[in-house]
Chains A and B, each alone.
Chain A
C-alpha cells in the first residue's frame, strides 16, 4: 500500500477529505435484470438503418461497459447479472425462465471479477446454445417470468443490511406490455402478483429502475404497465423518458448515465447574509481517476505483506512513539509546534461557505483554477426553504451574468471560491448539464506566478501579429474546426492500457491487449488539401518563405558545436593536459590523494569521463576505484 509518512501535513487537498467521506458511504448491490425474449433480438434500428444491432446487444454492451467502469472505480460494490425469458433456468429458487449468469470463483451477487467481465463480454456468442431465448408469458400458461425474475433478483439482494447498502434492480427490456399476450382473469391475476412482488421488494429497500429500450418508430409506453410497477405518478410519467433514444448511441449514453448511483460528498451550510444560512449538498462530478493504489506482495508466495511503521530518533537511534510535536528551523533555532497548535493555525473558518459578493463572469479568468470543481445542489432536508433561495439566486446570477465569490472554510484548504451558476442543459439523450452551481477553487496571490515577466526584455517591444497574419490564422482556425467537440469524448489511454494489462494478467493471458489511443490527432483529416493549404499559407505569412531551410541551417550550425559544447570540449582538453602532469598511481599508492585539492582531483575525473559530483572523499574513492585499487 502507498504509505504517506507526511500524512498529517499533506492534508490540504480535498481528495483526502473526500476519502474520509467515502467510508461513510454505503456500498451498492446491483442486479442487472435483462429481458432475453425473442423481441430483444429483433433489430433495434429502424428499417432504413443499416445497423443490425439488437436491443439485447445494446443492453449487454452497456452492462459490459459499466462493469469495466465499476471494477476500476468502485470495486467493492457487488453485482449480479440475471436474464429472464430464457429457455434454460438457473437460479436458487429453481424458477422457470430465469437464468442467473455467473462465472467460477464467484458468488451470484459478488464483486465483479476479471473473468466475469471477460465472459460476459462474449455471452452473446453462446447465448442461444447455452441459455436460449423464449417468450416467458404466453397464454395458456401459468408461468410468469417477470414475476420470477423479480423474485430471483430480490432473493439475490437478500444479503447485507438495507441500512448500509443501497440495493437496486436495473431492468432492461423493450417490452412495454409484458402481459399483452394473455387475457382475462389470468392477466389481472398475474399483473396483481407481479406488482405485489415489486412492491414487496421496494418495501425491503430495494429500488427498481427501468431502462427501457425502444425503436424510434414505436416508443416505449411506460403507462401501460411499468409506471405502476415503478410507482410513478402524474407528471413523473411524462418526465420519465424525456425523449426515447433517437439513436442507439443516445440510448447507450443514457443508460451509462444511470448506471451509477449519485453520491454526495457532504452537506455544507451556505451563509448568505445576516444569518440567512441555507444548506447545500456537494458532489464531485469531475475527479481524475488514477490507477488504484498498489500493494506490496511477497514475490515467492504472492501474499500481501504487512507494513510496519516505526519512529526512530535520529540523534540517539532510540525507538520513539509517534511524535505529537513538530518543528521548523528558524533563525538557527528549533521552533516547536504541537498538533493542536497546527490545527488551530489552519482553522480560519467554521467549514461553512460564506458569500462575499458577486462579480461579472468575465472577472473569472482562465488562469483562476487549481483543482477540479465541485458541484453544489440545494437540499431542504434540514433547512426548509433552502431550495427556494438557491433557485432564486441561481436565476438572478444566470440572468445578470454574474458569479458569486465566497469563502469556503474547509479544514483542509480554506479557500476563495467562485460559484458559477449552470443552467440545465438537456440533449437528445437526457440531461447533459445538471442545474446548480459549480464551485471553482480560486488561487491566492501566493499561488499565481508571473511567468510572462520572466523573459521581459527592456525596450525591446514584443512583435505582434499583423492583421494579415491574423486573417490567415483565422482561416486556419475555420479549417481545423472540431464541430461537435464535447469535453469528455476521450478515454484515458494510460488507464485503459493499465486495466487492459491487469485484466489480461488476471486471466492468465499471454497476449497483451492492444489499446487504441484515441487522443492522437486525426492525421488523415489534417492532410486534407484544404487544411494543408491553409497551414502552408499561415506558415509563410508568419515565418516567411524559407523557414524550413533556415531552421535546417540553424540546426546544422548547432550540430558543429554550440557555445556550451565547445566550452565542454575545451575543458576536457585542459583536464586531460593537466591530469597528465600527475602521477596518479603513485599518489594513490602513498595515500597522497587527499593532499590534492578538489580542482586537481577533478582533472583526473574529467579526463577519464567520470562523474565529478560529490564530496572530496567521494571523488578520491572514485579515483581509487577507477585505478583499480
Chain B
C-alpha cells in the first residue's frame, strides 16, 4: 500500500477576471497531474470548476444552491485522461464563490473517503478572490468559515490556497480585503496555507506539484550542555530535485512479448591485470585506498574496526556573532530544526533561544552526528527562524560549514593595487550605482520578483512538458521533460519544445524591466568600453593552416613562437618544432646561390631558442645534424660555415640538461660532426 498516497481536489476559479491567467492555471495543474503519473501513480485527483456558466454538482442536486460550480472529474486515481480534462478549461462568465467551491470540494472528499485517509486529503484552491461571496442563509460569513474549518479539521483535510492577482486597476478593494480576511481565517482555524502571487511564473512555483513526505534526519536532543537539552526533530529544508532517472533501453525483446521490460542491465566484472581472462570473484576482492602513489589494501572488516566512529548526538559548541560567519561559507543544502511536535516545553525553549539569537544577532555553532554509525561529524551554524504564523512554532535553520581541509585560501590581488586604467572613474562609478539602484527586483515594499520559493526549475518544467501533448493545438501550451514525456507518448517524433515565455523570465533578463530603465543601461553602456582581444588560440591556428609555404619567414618565426607559447597542450610544441623544421628544409632546398640563407638562419635561431626553452635539445641537434648530413657535400656546404659565425651551434648540456652534447662538441660543430660521421 502506498504510504504517501494522497487525494487532491483542485478548485479552479474560471470566472471572467481569471481568464487572462487560465492558460497558466491549466499548465500548472497539468503539471501536477503529470508528476503524479510519474511519482504518485496511486494518488487520486478530482477537479472542480467554479464561476462556470453551467452547474453540475451533487450538493446542488441534494440541497440546492451551489450554482455555477461544475465537478469536472470526480475523485479517482490519476490516469492519462486526467490531463485531458485540464486542456481548454471552459471560460465561465459568472463570478465565482470560493466558499461554495470549498464546500463542494469537502463534500467530494467526505463522500469518497468518509472518516478514513485523514491527513492525506488536500484541497487546492486557485482563485483571484475578486468577487464578493454570497451571504449565507444563517449567521455571518465568518461563522460559515468557522463551521467549514471545523469540518475540515475533523476530516483531516488541508487547504492550499493560491490567490493570484496581477496588478489590475479597477478591482474592488473592499471586497478583496474581505475575501482575504476570510481566507486568513481558514489559516487560523484549519490547516490551511494561503499564498499570494502576482505573476504567472510565480504561480508555477507556488503550487506544490510534487508531494514529497519528508523524513527526519535526526530526532533527539539538542544538547546545550550535558544537563540542558531540548528535544528537536531535524529535516531537510532544501534538497535538489533531480532530473528523473531514466532507464537504458533495449529493443531486443520480441514484439509479441507482453511482459518485456526493455531494460538494460549493467554487469561489472573484475579481472586481473595479468590475466585478462580471469574473473576475480567478489570474495577475493579487497578495497585499496590511495595514499599518494601507494595503494593501501584494507578489508572492510579491518576498516570497520579502526575507522572514526563518533557518538550520535547534536551538541552546542557555543554562540558567536553572526558577522563571524560569512554567507558564502554555507556548504550544502539546508536543514531545519523544529521543536518536537506537541512538546510545549521544547517549543518554548526553542522559541526563547531563537528570539534571543535574533535580538542579539548571534549564531550558534553545533557539532552534529545524525545517526549512530555515521562515519563523520558535521560542523554547522544554527540561525533563528522566527515564525510569522501563529500556529507554527519558531525553529532554526542549520547550514553546514567547511573544515580546514575544505577551504583553499587562494590569494587575489587587491582591487586597489590594479592600474588606474582598470579603476572606474567617478562618472563610471555613478553609472554603476544607478544601474544597481534601478535594476531593482524588489520594486515596492514586500514585493520581490523571482523569489526562490516561487520560482520553478525551468529544466524540470520543460522536461515534464515534453511528456505531454494530446493534440497538436495543445503543443504551444506545454513545457519541457514532463511535457516532452507526455508529448512523446503521443508523437514519438516530437521535437524538444522551446522554453516557454514565462520560464524565459527565469533564464533571461526581463525585457520589460530593462526597457523601462533603458536610459540607465544606455548610460552604463556609454561609460564603459569593452574591447575584445583577438583570441590567441584561434589566431595561431588560423595562421598555421596556411603553412608551411609561408610567404615571409618573419611570419614563420612569429607563428612558431605563438605556437610554442600555447599552453593548452604539449602537442603544440612538437607540432611547432616539426613544422619549423620542414620550413627550414624547404627554404634550403629552394635556395639559389644562397638567397634564402638569411631567412633560414633566422628560422633556425628561433627554433634553437624554442628548443632550449622547451627542453627539447635533442630535437634540434638531430635536425641540425640531419641537415648537415644531407647537404654537407653539396653547394649548400657554405651555409654551415655561416652557422658558426651566427652562433648557431648544437645545443649543449649546459644550455639544456637533456642534451647529450658537451659544450666543446657543440662549439666544434660542424667539424666535430664530420669526425663523428666518419
Contacts and interface: CB of A to CB of B under 8 A. Distances in A.
A146 interface: no
Residues of A in contact with B, size category: 35 or more
A629 interface: no
Interface string A222-251: 000000000000010001000000000000
B41 to A, nearest CB: 10
B642 interface: no
Contact of A297 (B237, B295, B393, B423): B295
Interface stretch (B10-18, B175-183, B424-432, B551-559): B424-432
Given A305-B273, A451-B235, A483-B320, 14 more contacts: A75-B292, A239-B417, A273-B509, A276-B524, A276-B528, A296-B287, A307-B270, A396-B429, A457-B342, A463-B351, A480-B316, A492-B404, A494-B310, A544-B345
B102 interface: no
A585 interface: no
A389 B424 CA distance: 7
A446 B348 contact: no
Contacts of B467: 328, 330, 335
A300 to B, nearest CB: 7
6 contacts: A306-B276, A307-B270, A316-B252, A369-B333, A407-B507, A485-B324
Contacts of B480: 345
A435 to B, nearest CB: 5
B225 interface: yes
Interface in B234-260: 235-253, 257, 260
A356 interface: yes
A276 B530 contact: yes
Contacts of A110: 293
Interface stretch (A126-134, A185-193, A212-220, A347-355): A347-355
A478 B269 CA distance: 60
A449 interface: yes
Interface stretch (B44-52, B63-71, B567-575, B665-673): B567-575
A155 B238 contact: no
B542 interface: no
B143 to A, nearest CB: 15
A112 B291 CA distance: 9
Contacts of A381: 533
A29 to B, nearest CB: 13
Contacts of A438: 327-328
A505 B308 CA distance: 16
A431 to B, nearest CB: 5
A273 B415 contact: no
A564 interface: no
B613 A162 contact: yes
Interface string A397-408: 101101011010
B399 interface: yes
A539 B38 CA distance: 49
Of residues B206, B395, B435, which shows the largest number of chain A Cβ atoms within 10 Å of its Cβ? Answer: B435
A274 B525 CA distance: 8
Interface string B83-113: 0000000000000000000000000000000
Contacts of A495: 376, 403, 405
Contact of B349 (A420, A446, A491, A543): A543
B287 A356 contact: no
Contacts of A394: 415
Given A327-B246, A459-B189, A448 B318 contact: no
Nearest to B295: A295
B606 interface: no
B153 interface: yes
Interface in B397-434: 397, 399, 401-412, 414-415, 417-418, 421-424, 428-429, 431-433
A315 B246 CA distance: 17
Interface in A320-356: 320, 323, 325-328, 330-331, 333-337, 341-342, 344-346, 348-349, 354-356
B423 A535 contact: no
B411 A400 contact: no
Of residues A283, A320, A465, which shows the largest number of chain B Cβ atoms within 10 Å of its Cβ? Answer: A465
B438 to A, nearest CB: 9
Of residues A298, A495, A499, which shows the largest number of chain B Cβ atoms within 10 Å of its Cβ? Answer: A298
Contacts of A71: 291-292
Contacts of B450: 356-357, 405, 416
Nearest to B421: A388
Interface string A289-315: 101111111111111111111111111
Contact of B415 (A391, A420, A451, A489): A391
A24 interface: yes
B334 A366 contact: yes
A493 interface: yes
A445 interface: yes
A627 interface: no
Decide if the interface of chain A is mainly helix, strand, loop or mixed: mixed
A111 B293 contact: yes
Contacts of B347: 462-463
Contact of B356 (A396, A477, A489): A477
Contact of B530 (A278, A287, A358): A278
Closest 8 CB pairs of A and B: A445-B205, A465-B352, A438-B328, A473-B356, A392-B432, A494-B376, A434-B412, A315-B253
B411 A431 contact: yes
Interface in A138-158: 155, 158
Interface stretch (B126-134, B483-491, B596-604): B483-491
B174 interface: no
Contact of A286 (B245, B267, B406): B406
A523 B224 CA distance: 11
A482 interface: yes
Interface stretch (B458-466, B583-591, B622-630): B458-466
Given A72-B405, A299-B286, A447-B457, A358 B439 contact: yes
A487 B381 CA distance: 9
Given A389-B530, A435-B414, A462-B392, A306 B271 contact: yes
A570 interface: no
B344 to A, nearest CB: 6
A488 interface: yes
B247 A396 contact: no
Interface string B374-404: 0111010001010100111111010101111
Contact of B457 (A366, A395, A446, A541): A446
A193 B391 CA distance: 80
B634 interface: no
A607 interface: no
A3 interface: yes
Interface string A562-586: 0000000000000000000000000
Contact of B272 (A305, A337, A370, A446): A305
Given A283-B410, A330-B37, A389 B334 contact: no
Contacts of B62: none
Interface string B209-238: 110101000000000111110000001111
A367 B237 CA distance: 7
A63 to B, nearest CB: 15
A487 B228 contact: no
B250 A458 contact: no
